[in-house]
Structure 1
Amino acid sequence: MAQRSLPRGMGSFFKECGHPQSRWPKCLHPYKIRYQSEAGRQAEESGFADQDAAIDRLTDIYKEKKAAKQAQPKAERIRKYGTMRFADYAEEWRAGQRHLAVQSVRHLDSLLEHHIYPALGSRRMNSFDHKVVDAFIRTMERNGTGLATQSNAFDKLRAILLDAHRLGIFPDNPVAGVKAPQYDPARAVIPSPEQLRAIRTAGDDAFTVIVDLMSGCGLRNGEAAAVNLSNIVADDVYRVSEQVVMSTGQYGPLKHRKAGEYRDVPLPARVGETIEWYVEKYGTTDGYLLRQPTDPTKPYKHYAMDNQWRRIRASGAVDVPEDMVLYGNRHFFASNCLAQGIPITDVAEWMGHKNIDVTFKIYRHLMPGSISSAAQLLNVGLAA
């Protein structure tokens, strides 16, 4: 009997009619759910009209069990979780991260599997303190782990340990006082306006559209590949609502967002003109500008823009900054915003960063001004 399982600890749903899963949405037979009760016994419920109703019920049960777990006396929680292996605790924590998009879950799994579990997976939860966390960071440094990966791994470890801290496993915050890994701002290589003008026309017409959307609207590579005429919601506003997911080659939700969530970004007139020019020349497919040249029914592939970028760099025909990657066109957007005095809070929102700390880490050095210039500006408003 086929069944669909939710993340670990939440249970599964199925039908007993014998139809394949592909037929379930059209089949009139009710869904059933299976889960473990608080007593650890397998339980089933039936009569759910559709998949969403079954999932909602499993989610409610999971929340009830989690609430019951957190309501246990502190001493009991410490006994239960204090001696638990970190990997086991982390798996329970991961099951509760239902708000994460598919790509974010894959990223989390990669960090756990390749960086966190090898170093800390077998360690007992009650043995963590700031020294253990600091040693983990130093190990990543010795192994030559990239700064971005170091920072992401630390963020995930901190989230898991803070969850345990709220349960009372640690008397003190185990990450308090730990110096987090820092991104190197020099890694954000940004083209000059003159270089950008040459780069945008160095590839084919689709490449021009992608570069303009990244440098003019702050879109990520995959978001630019999913550009759709219907997402122009005002003359100067573009609604970013999906991306071409690199791992699947299909349209999917935005990074750090659920399906249906979006962000609105400025649409400069020059970028709007590029979109109109491309649509007039090539038309659209269901509103999408960019599709696979050999099969217009499929989304534009990441490798198409990556291959062009490699050829452009290798040709030497265009002045490309040393070590600049395709993502540097998006960095140009942030740099341009900050140079024009646009608040970094707005820049963070338009770029779709999960929190403003990411924006500060990467672009703080680009923010104009200094203490001296601030003193001069503030002086204007003071009484003589």
Structure 2
Amino acid sequence: MAHIRRARSGQGWEARYRDPHGKERARTFNTKRDAQQFIAGAEADLQRGDWLDPRVGRIRFDDWADEWLATAVHLKPNTRYGYERLLERHVLPVFGGKRIANIERIDVRRFVSDMTTAGMAAGTVRNAFTVVRNVFNIALDSGAVKANPCARVKMPRSPRAEMLFLDPAQIVALAEAIGDEYALLVKTAAYTGLRAGELQALRVRRVDLDKCNLDVVESLSEVEGQLIFGETKTYSRRQVGVPASLAAELRLHITTRSLGPDDLVFAGPRGGPMRHNNFYNRHFKPAVVRGALPDGLRFHDLRHTCAALLISEGAHPRAIMERLGHSTVQVAIDRYGHLFPRIHAELTDSLDKLYRGGHDDPTSAGATSSDG
């Protein structure tokens, strides 16, 4: 049972209580009233299940950050590297030396505000905030804090990069402008919707040209100059259909190069893995200019192009989600929802034709029988 008593030194008052594990805890205060208030608060926390071990709360933020990185085994190498850079450059200089339990919501708000007013890009601010929130989630799960102070902290709006879409003629123009070495890569990107890293990690044994399918199981990324094969972005292993005409071109590409099962379908100049930045700067961007294609066109826009082509053919959002490897249908809707109204209008026109056709047909359902 919790109680207070005079400290053995005769100076101050000692508050004693037992934690949820039955271990006796003690703390000394200058006045009896402070000791009584502490005991009342501790007992209330114990009853609510909110009691925190004060020793855990004294651990510094940077130690919890190390714990988070050590246990976040799900992070892809590129993502981990990005988080480590954010910690080093932005997060730890502000929070690193502070006790985790002493950091409050106002501190997190100031952190976001200071980064924003310093001119940091909204995406950088958001990602740094994500790091802080993840560290606090570890501390919360371990009983070091009662709540995550990142809750209800508003982020600056991040302007989404404009999506550009090519029509089939423009896809051909880009393929011709980029030359034979990478023309098939461009067309495969536009008509399958695979990410750059997924295309660059695609091996011949993952290509079933008889069934016109690609098995998308890994992705290639570059971290500090090192090329790493790993899981796809959303861990979405999936099978993607290939148009028959494109499959024929892929078959010719593989056979003329005598590629084996473990060879990369789209390799670098020397046969090894492609370095996307080199390809993008040396080949893709110049091809965009030569082909008189929309200014600012990115390789990733070929993925958006695939989505737009699917939508123009009446594809359901779920089909788009599964093909592109989005985590949820909502992601597909949020990203490409603005393209659907035109399709809805076309479908409505089709329904109108059916409606008018039904009314023009005297034998249609609802017509009155002459037999009474």
**Normalised-by-shorter TM-score class:** 0.5 to 0.7
1:1-384 aligned at under 5 Å gives the runs 75-77=51-53, 79-233=54-208, 235-247=211-223, 250=227, 252-256=229-233, 262-285=237-260, 286-293=262-269, 295-296=270-271, 298-302=272-276, 303-313=278-288, 316-353=289-326, 363-369=335-341
Give the Å deviation of 1:183: 4.0
CA–CA separation in structure 2 for the residues paired with 1:85 and 1:263: 42
CA–CA separation in structure 2 for the residues paired with 1:273 and 1:306: 29
CA–CA separation in structure 1 for the residues paired with 2:114 and 2:310: 37
Give the Å deviation of 1:216: 1.7
Paired residues of 1:220 and 1:330 also in contact (CA < 8 A): yes
Give the Å deviation of 1:173: 4.1
CA–CA separation in structure 2 for the residues paired with 1:357 and 1:161: 27
Summarize the Cα distance change of 1:127–1:309 in structure 2 as closer, same or farther, 3 Å threshold. same
CA–CA separation in structure 1 for the residues paired with 2:331 and 2:97: 30
Paired residues of 1:212 and 1:274 also in contact (CA < 8 A): no
Q: Which has the larger radius of gyration?
A: 2
Amino acid at match of 2:197: G
Residue identity over aligned pairs, in percent, reads: 22
Q: SS in structure 1 opposite 2:239?
A: strand
Paired residues of 1:338 and 1:366 also in contact (CA < 8 A): no
Summarize the Cα distance change of 1:365–1:116 in structure 2 as closer, same or farther, 3 Å threshold. farther
Give the Å deviation of 1:89: 0.8
Match of 1:23 in 2: none
Paired residues of 2:193 and 2:323 also in contact (CA < 8 A): yes
Q: SS in structure 1 opposite 2:74?
A: coil
CA–CA separation in structure 2 for the residues paired with 1:345 and 1:144: 38
How many residue pairs get matched?
Answer: 299
Amino acid at match of 1:242: E
Q: SS in structure 2 opposite 1:219?
A: coil
| Range that drifts further, 281-290 or 222-231 | 281-290
What's the C-alpha RMSD, in Å, of the aligned pairs? 3.6
Match of 1:15 in 2: none
CA–CA separation in structure 2 for the residues paired with 1:127 and 1:217: 50
CA offsets per residue over residues 104-124 of structure 1, 9 Å max, x none?
A: 322221222233223332333
Q: SS in structure 1 opposite 2:215?
A: strand
Amino acid at match of 1:245: S
CA offsets per residue over residues 95-149 of structure 1, 9 Å max, x none?
A: 1111223233222212222332233323332234443333333333223333433
CA–CA separation in structure 1 for the residues paired with 2:163 and 2:264: 30
Paired residues of 1:189 and 1:328 also in contact (CA < 8 A): yes
Amino acid at match of 1:155: T
Q: SS in structure 2 opposite 1:84?
A: coil
Give the Å deviation of 1:343: 4.4
Summarize the Cα distance change of 1:268–1:159 in structure 2 as closer, same or farther, 3 Å threshold. farther
CA–CA separation in structure 1 for the residues paired with 2:106 and 2:333: 27
CA–CA separation in structure 1 for the residues paired with 2:333 and 2:144: 32
Give TM-score, length-normalised by structure 1: 0.65
Paired residues of 2:68 and 2:134 also in contact (CA < 8 A): no
Structure 1, unaligned runs of 5 or more: 1-72
Give the Å deviation of 1:365: 4.8
Q: SS in structure 2 opposite 1:201?
A: helix
CA–CA separation in structure 2 for the residues paired with 1:134 and 1:345: 37
Q: SS in structure 2 opposite 1:300?
A: coil
Paired residues of 1:283 and 1:289 also in contact (CA < 8 A): no
Give the Å deviation of 1:235: 1.9
CA–CA separation in structure 1 for the residues paired with 2:125 and 2:88: 14
CA offsets per residue over residues 221-268 of structure 1, 9 Å max, x none?
A: 22212332221246243111233332355451134478xx83323323
CA offsets per residue over residues 138-191 of structure 1, 9 Å max, x none?
A: 333223333433333333332222333334444444233223454423433333
CA–CA separation in structure 2 for the residues paired with 1:310 and 1:81: 53
CA–CA separation in structure 1 for the residues paired with 2:162 and 2:156: 14
CA–CA separation in structure 1 for the residues paired with 2:128 and 2:331: 14
Q: SS in structure 2 opposite 1:288?
A: coil
CA–CA separation in structure 2 for the residues paired with 1:91 and 1:266: 43
Summarize the Cα distance change of 1:207–1:143 in structure 2 as closer, same or farther, 3 Å threshold. farther
Give the Å deviation of 1:354: 5.5
| Range that drifts further, 94-103 or 192-201 | 192-201
Give the Å deviation of 1:321: 1.6
Paired residues of 1:210 and 1:221 also in contact (CA < 8 A): no
Match of 1:66 in 2: none
Give TM-score, length-normalised by structure 2: 0.67
Paired residues of 2:240 and 2:323 also in contact (CA < 8 A): yes
Paired residues of 2:201 and 2:273 also in contact (CA < 8 A): yes
